[in-house]
Structure 1
Amino acid sequence: MAIEITNELLENVSTLIQEKQDQQISRFFEDIHHADIAEVLDDLTFDEAVYIIRLLDSETTSAVLMEVDEDVREKVLEQLSAKEIAEEIEELDTDDAADVIAELPEERKQEVIQEIEDKEHAKEIVELLRYDEDTAGGLMAKELVKVNVNWSVLRCVKEMRIQAEEVTRVHSIYVVDDEGKLQGRLSLKDLLMASTKAKIEDVYIPKVDFVNVHDYAEDVANVMRKYDLEAIPVIDELGVLVGRITIDDIVDVIKEEAEKDYQLAAGITQDVDSEDNVLALTRARLPWLFLGMVGGLSAASIMGVFQDAMDKSPILFLFTPLIAAMAGNVGVQSSAIIVQGLANDGIKGSIWNRLLKEISLAMLNGVILSFLLFLFVWVTKGNLQIAMAIALSLFSVIIVAGLVGTSIPLILDKYGIDPAIATGPFITTSNDIFGILIYFSIAKLIIGF
């Protein structure tokens, strides 16, 4: 049952906790989805959240812990004993269980793993912990349904029933050989239509998309997005099927990557959020703010070189913010499109073709905007030379800004640097400097100061 999280609801829950109405609290949360319970816990005090978690059954608690904010989960786990955590872990799929254990201190990890009664489950969790969290191995779960290519359809069905008891949701049926190497996948429709005496080798589909345990999470996300997959098998270096990754894990990867790129684009160099302390937020923002200040000082220095121009034609000063702003806007637009294309693996062809396309686009936009600006300055200021200088400067600035905004992300990507950093203050600052320099240089040529 879905619920709306309101202040009235939260106050009622807090009141029930204060009055220790345990049975009423349990009944209230009994039919509520674990994601909604997690949202409620995030809005309550920490002590209230812990109180509710201790009332929930292990299956619900384990699901809720995967949904609550990481900081809340960390604090909750600190209040639970190793045995209590182990009980929750046993209700989770191996990938989620490994994620929870990975957040614990090293000594605590060992204590929790030793308390897990299902030793096979514990063994699989330990195996997953060996992989980097940003790889396919770190994302995958061990729970899956697989059948041997040499089995009959009848045996296959029997084995699938046994395996399905350990799997929350069956996305695909994978086919392996006697050595456990991935051979293909099995269509449920083909299985139902086949004779019970038929061999799996006669009905399975050899073609199957897969990833390696060491593939980066972003690459896995691109494969699943490209081929519209709900799940994908994971193999090791020998081709042995070792796990599977489902779409819910990939959604988390895409969300985290989008948040990181957004922070980089905004000029934040670390993975932070609004709840972090002031020192952490300062460390994340200060480097780019310093770059912006250096850029501003550089632009001021350039304007100082052309002090005589502003003394003789003060009208130029009025349009300086416009030129700088347009340079930054065009640069950010161009770089944002390129960064998005690189992230989605949508940039095809040579760099030169991409640059040529951006130059064409910049020229078209430049002609239209420059013409409108020319008319505005000429009509309002009545000076043809000034109008031509400002309009031509804007046209030139738009082209240069488009080139800078396009080329920098492509160059960064070529050398293995995250191109998302190009959409932040770096692009804006560099184009501000170029814009001011181009503006006064062209004005000097036309007006002749």
Structure 2
Amino acid sequence: MSFEITKEYLEEIQQLIASKSNEHILNLLDEVHYADIAELVEELNFNDGLYLIKLLDSEKTSDVIAELDEDDREKILKELSAKEIAEEIDELDTDDAADIIAELPEEQKEEVISHLEDVEHAKEIVELLRYDDDTAGGLMAKELVKVNENWNVLTCVKEMRAQAEEVTRVHSIYVVDDNDILKGRLSLKDLLTTSTKTAIKDVFIKKVDSVTVNEEDEEVARIMQKYDLEAIPVVDEIGRLVGRITIDDIVDVIKEEAEKDYQMAAGLVEDVEADDTIWELTRARLPWLFLGLLGGVGAARIMGLFEGALEDNAILFMFTPLIAAMAGNVGVQSSAIIVQGLANDNLKGSISNRLLKEFSLALVNGAVLAVVLFAFTWIWQSDFNTALAISISLFAVIIVAGIIGTFIPLFLDKRGIDPAIATGPFITTSNDIFGILIYFWIAKLILGF
């Protein structure tokens, strides 16, 4: 049964904190998972959450702090001394420890590192801090199990027992040579069924997927997703095994990328959350809203060029929102499919083939919708030419919008720009303008104004 923080449970914890019933609190939270305690800390007011962090043992609160939302973690860490932070860091795997230290002010980083009791742990954390956050080096942990190809099975088992004490989960056993160059991986089944005197180099599996320290995190996620990996080894520029990345880190990367793309598609230029300040939210939203304003002004200017025609053909004005909306909708649909395909790396074929396919799709959709609109307008207005002008305009607008929605994200991707910026306001605004222009141009040709 999943843990749930009810109103009654929250009130009980608050009352226990108020009465400083520490032993009762410890008993109540003894079997609670650290992720659930992190959620509890975020639900409590700041002082009560900090009280829990300081009350519980570092072995548990270290994971709680790593699990907290970044803003909440920053507030908590400000209230802890460098020594207290170091005590938490000492309990964490190197990747989580490096992530937390990276968030600290520069002068505090050195102070915290100087208080770490495990010197080897500190050295590994410092090494990880050298890598950019969005690379394999920034994602990896140093904790892993590796064996030398020149060992026999008996020596291998002894060494693995010692190494495994420092590793939370043993996903794979990696094989290296005397220079720590990654050679392959070892099957646990082969290890258990092979003579203790057999050399590891005679039984290990030479094929092993790996990534380099400078590989982008999105590419690491793609590789692990494609080959269904729970962990992947990381090597340096000369092939030495330096760490491993586990699936939990990749889930975080995928989640962050999805949130970023969603916000970008919605017209937010930077990462924001609902509880950010008004200034931060305004700064994130205003640029795209300004683009939308320019698009609206452009569309209004185009309509102004046909002001006289609108007076004589008022029915055209009534269908203007429909044309603009259909242009935006088709464009966003097309671009969303392309962006999704690019993100999942399952978009095959050339740009020309993709454009041809989208053109064919737009032809079918446009034809069906245009026939429906023609029938509706003709029955309503009893004017063949007007119905023809509006329906042909819709047909043309859908085709153009589909091509624009397909081409722009493909073009941006070829130029190394995140194609997610093509969706949302950008596509909608551009297609609004093109849609209005095409609409009145075709109407002018057919109705002769």
TM-score (structure 1 length as normaliser):
0.99
- The residue number in structure 2 matching 1:13 is 13
What is the rounded CA distance, in whole Å, between the counterparts of 2:117 and 2:138 in structure 1? Answer: 23
- The residue number in structure 1 matching 2:431 is 431
* Cα deviations by residue, 1:3-52 (Å, 9 ceiling, x for unpaired): 21122221221111111111111111111111111111111111010001
Unaligned 5+ segments in structure 1 are: none
Whether the 8 Å CA contact 1:299–1:432 is kept in 2: the answer is: yes
Moved more, 61-70 or 165-174: 61-70
Unaligned 5+ segments in structure 2 are: none
- The residue number in structure 2 matching 1:105 is 105
- The residue number in structure 1 matching 2:345 is 345
What is the rounded CA distance, in whole Å, between the counterparts of 2:5 and 2:305 in structure 1? Answer: 60
What displacement does 1:385 show?
Answer: 1.0
Percent identity between matched residues is 70
- The residue number in structure 2 matching 1:422 is 422
Whether the 8 Å CA contact 1:2–1:36 is kept in 2: the answer is: no
- The residue number in structure 1 matching 2:142 is 142
Residues 122-133 of structure 1: pairs in structure 2 closer than 5 A: 122-133=122-133
Moved more, 372-381 or 247-256: 372-381
What is the rounded CA distance, in whole Å, between the counterparts of 1:382 and 1:13 in structure 2? Answer: 72
Whether the 8 Å CA contact 1:86–1:113 is kept in 2: the answer is: yes
What is the rounded CA distance, in whole Å, between the counterparts of 2:2 and 2:114 in structure 1? Answer: 37
What displacement does 1:66 show?
Answer: 1.2
Q: Which amino acid aligns with 2:336?
A: A
Residues 197-216 of structure 1: pairs in structure 2 closer than 5 A: 197-216=197-216
What is the rounded CA distance, in whole Å, between the counterparts of 1:213 and 1:75 in structure 2? Answer: 31
Whether the 8 Å CA contact 1:2–1:33 is kept in 2: the answer is: no
Whether the 8 Å CA contact 1:264–1:424 is kept in 2: the answer is: yes
- The residue number in structure 2 matching 1:220 is 220
Whether the 8 Å CA contact 1:133–1:139 is kept in 2: the answer is: yes
- The residue number in structure 2 matching 1:362 is 362
What is the rounded CA distance, in whole Å, between the counterparts of 2:378 and 2:217 in structure 1? Answer: 56
* Cα deviations by residue, 1:385-442 (Å, 9 ceiling, x for unpaired): 1111111111100000000000000111111111100002110000000000011111
Task: Determine if the alignment matches structure 1 residue 27 to structure 2 residue 27.
Answer: yes
TM-score (structure 2 length as normaliser):
0.99
Q: Which amino acid aligns with 2:363?
A: M
Whether the 8 Å CA contact 1:324–1:436 is kept in 2: the answer is: yes
Task: Determine if the alignment matches structure 1 residue 182 to structure 2 residue 177.
Answer: no
Matched position secondary structure for 1:146 = strand
What displacement does 1:215 show?
Answer: 0.6
What is the rounded CA distance, in whole Å, between the counterparts of 1:319 and 1:121 in structure 2? Answer: 68
Residues 164-179 of structure 1: pairs in structure 2 closer than 5 A: 164-179=164-179
What is the rounded CA distance, in whole Å, between the counterparts of 2:98 and 2:59 in structure 1? Answer: 16
What is the rounded CA distance, in whole Å, between the counterparts of 2:411 and 2:212 in structure 1? Answer: 28
Q: Which amino acid aligns with 1:247?
A: I
Residues 367-382 of structure 1: pairs in structure 2 closer than 5 A: 367-382=367-382
Matched position secondary structure for 2:67 = coil
- The residue number in structure 1 matching 2:252 is 252
What displacement does 1:96 show?
Answer: 0.2
What is the rounded CA distance, in whole Å, between the counterparts of 1:30 and 1:375 in structure 2? Answer: 70
Q: Which amino acid aligns with 1:12?
A: E
- Count of residues in correspondence between the two structures: 449
* Cα deviations by residue, 1:239-297 (Å, 9 ceiling, x for unpaired): 00000000000000011111111111011111111121111111111111110000000
What displacement does 1:201 show?
Answer: 0.8
Matched position secondary structure for 1:319 = helix
What displacement does 1:59 show?
Answer: 1.1
What displacement does 1:2 show?
Answer: 3.5
What is the rounded CA distance, in whole Å, between the counterparts of 2:368 and 2:7 in structure 1? Answer: 52
- The residue number in structure 2 matching 1:304 is 304
- The residue number in structure 1 matching 2:157 is 157
Residues 229-308 of structure 1: pairs in structure 2 closer than 5 A: 229-308=229-308
What is the rounded CA distance, in whole Å, between the counterparts of 2:384 and 2:9 in structure 1? Answer: 67
* Cα deviations by residue, 1:40-85 (Å, 9 ceiling, x for unpaired): 1111111010001111111110111111111111111111111111
What is the rounded CA distance, in whole Å, between the counterparts of 1:39 and 1:188 in structure 2? Answer: 37
Matched position secondary structure for 2:5 = coil
- The residue number in structure 2 matching 1:74 is 74
* Cα deviations by residue, 1:327-361 (Å, 9 ceiling, x for unpaired): 00000000001111111111221100000010011
Task: Determine if the alignment matches structure 1 residue 448 to structure 2 residue 434.
Answer: no
